[in-house]
Chains A and B, each alone.
Chain A
Amino acid sequence: MKSTILLLLFVESTTAFIVSPNTIRQSVSLRKKYEDMDEEEKAVALEKATKAMTAFTNKYLENTCTKLCSDKSVPAVVIKGLAEHKLTLGAPLCPCRFYDDKEAEAKDGYWNCPCVPMRERHECHCMLFLTEDNAFVGEETSITYEEVIEGSNIQF
């Protein structure tokens, strides 16, 4: 009886990591769905993704004890880029790199934010998460959605 219960618990815990085909189909269909969206739907989706990436940024700043750049348009632009990639690729691929194959890189995960250099050494090439010794570190440890929108509204 005990061994049966243990076996059931083991199976349940391992299958928790197995993604069901339905989930995979849903993820793929969500990505396809963005491409099929009209402009209004895309705008809503982008707003949602941008808010999500803003929340992630603020949480990760807190977790890593890092700070934002003193010029907040820098993190604003990066957060917008992460949101765009999240929508188009299904993952927040680092927007401060060029990739021959973005989809492959997003699947690989090395450059998905937080990227491996950031996770291992607190090195953020995007200047989104800055350590105290960085020449451009500011004092602030959070950014609002409104600041992201305002700061990312810049044309090159």
Chain B
Amino acid sequence: MKFLTATPLLLLVSSTHAFTAPRSVQRSVSLYAAEGEEKAVAMVSGEDLELLLQNMEQPLVVDAYATWCGPCLLMAPEFEQAAQELKGKVKFVKLDTDQEEEMASRLNIMGLPTLLFLDKYQDDENPDARAVLKGRIEGAMQKKSILDLVEHYFFDGPAPQLF
């Protein structure tokens, strides 16, 4: 992964669940964008992701998921909502780890869902590097937590208290 580099900027965060929510969960947002609204989250293949990482125009959040992963399902509408709010500012994509095993293995995906926060990287010492992994987190998350993490990793926001 020549375009990913371990640097002092690399933040590795591993966690489990970071949700806080009321006891009764209401699916307030459909899994997809509202009717008539274009989806903000794009499904990408391994090749698509490679191209994105080589041509980083804006920060990128990757949701690595699988079809039969329950927490992935729970997080899907939250991820879409976060993507809608940050449209044009941050790119949100989903990677099906069942379909894209090679990329999932390269990204060292283990627990699902895993969110990866990647930013543009430029360094004279590593001219081939295009992206840097700013952080990663496992477990389903609410929209607010996702937004807080985006703010922290990409826009110098405070480290969120997730658990």
Contacts and interface: CB of A to CB of B under 8 A. Distances in A.
B104 interface: yes
Interface string A89-116: 0000001111010000000000000000
A136 B23 CA distance: 5
Contacts of A154: 31, 73
Interface string B106-120: 000111100000000
A44 B110 CA distance: 31
Given A73-B73, A74-B73, A125-B139, A95 B68 contact: yes
Contacts, number: 101
A96 B56 CA distance: 29
Size class of B's contact patch? 35 or more
A71 B27 contact: yes
Q: How large is the interface on A (under 10, 10 to 19, 20 to 34, 35 or more residues)?
A: 20 to 34
Overall SS of chain A's interface: loop
B68 A80 contact: yes
Given A84-B68, A127-B140, A156-B94, A135 B20 contact: yes
Contacts of A126: 69-71
13 contacts: A69-B70, A74-B74, A77-B69, A78-B68, A81-B66, A84-B68, A96-B66, A97-B112, A98-B109, A135-B19, A136-B21, A137-B23, A156-B76
Interface of A: 69-71, 73-78, 80-82, 84, 95-98, 100, 123, 125-128, 134-138, 152, 154-156
Interface of B: 16-17, 19-25, 27, 31, 43, 64-74, 76, 94, 96-97, 101, 104-105, 109-112, 139-140
